[in-house]
């Protein structure tokens, strides 16, 4: 009897997500939903990204965490609009949470909204939030088995960022295996290998973002 309830929850979420997507489209805002395990480097990636693109784009961040405002405080220091969502135990953000967060933003002239989802490879992949696309972040220390264990995220993502590649010489992580698995799940998935700490590969990520904004404006 639980299945109909879950279906209604997802259907209701998708209706609100479509409303959000229509709003973002009408206002020319690129919205990216960043999803990863805890500790993969989402916040560090965002800090570096915001600092690199601050003179090019008007950006905002919606921060999702179960508790604390630590990540939102880090992001706010980059000088962008930041809204914190504390889920109080929920393992993902949903479209209703994002709707309430967007109401707190000044969306006029915004180019990009980054949504930093709760650290989790499972639930966030199931809930649309009006985004243009999901960006999966996989870090080298997590291991190369995650796409096989958690295929939904990698099947639906528009981009896979493989982070912390500066640690490849010190850990057992098979890049070729990861690429083969994710290509099997999602042949059109784009892959960028980078290190948010050292900056290696970072320009490719920034170029990908610039292209998304150009497409939205055209």
DSSP-assigned states of every residue in 83-147: EEEE-TT-SS--HHHHHHHHTTS--TT--EEEEE--S-SSGGGG---S-SEEEEEEEGGG-TTHH
* Among the four given CATH numbers 3.40.50.300, 1.10.150.120, 3.40.50.2000, 3.40.50.11540, the one describing domain 2-217: 3.40.50.300
pTM (whole model) above 0.75: yes
136-157 per-position pLDDT tens digit: 999 999 999 999 999 999 999 9
**CA 115/CA 111 separation, integer angstroms:** 13
pLDDT exceeds 90 at position 5? no
| Contact assessment for residue 105 and residue 83, using Cβ atoms and an 8 Å cutoff | yes
Closest CA to 54 of 70, 71, 75: 75
Torsion angle of alpha carbons 104, 58, 91, 208, nearest 10°?
160
- Taking the domains of the chain in order of start, what are their residue ranges? 2-217
What integer best gives the mean pLDDT of the chain?
A: 95
């Amino acid at each position: 009897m639980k299945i109909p309830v879950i279906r209604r929850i997802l259907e209701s979420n998708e209706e609100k997500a479509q409303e959000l997507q229509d709003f973002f489209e009408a206002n020319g805002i690129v919205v990216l939903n960043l999803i990863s395990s805890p500790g993969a480097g989402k916040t560090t990636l965002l800090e570096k990204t915001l600092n690199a693109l601050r003179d090019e784009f008007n950006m905002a961040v919606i921060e999702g965490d179960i508790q604390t405002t630590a990540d939102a405080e880090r992001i706010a220091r980059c000088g962008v609009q930041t809204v914190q969502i504390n889920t109080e135990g929920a393992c993902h953000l949903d479209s209703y949470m994002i709707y309430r967060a967007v109401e707190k933003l000044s969306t006029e002239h915004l180019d990009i909204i980054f949504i930093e989802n709760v650290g989790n490879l499972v639930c966030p992949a199931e809930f649309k939030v009006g985004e243009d696309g999901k960006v999966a972040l996989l870090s080298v220390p997590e291991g190369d088995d995650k796409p096989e264990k958690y295929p939904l995220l990698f099947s639906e993502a528009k981009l896979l960022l493989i982070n912390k590649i500066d640690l490849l010489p010190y850990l057992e992580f098979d890049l070729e295996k990861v690429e083969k698995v994710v290509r099997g799940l999602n042949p059109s998935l784009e892959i960028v290998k980078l290190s948010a700490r050292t900056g290696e590969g970072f320009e490719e990520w920034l170029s990908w973002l610039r292209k998304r904004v150009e497409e939205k404006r055209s």
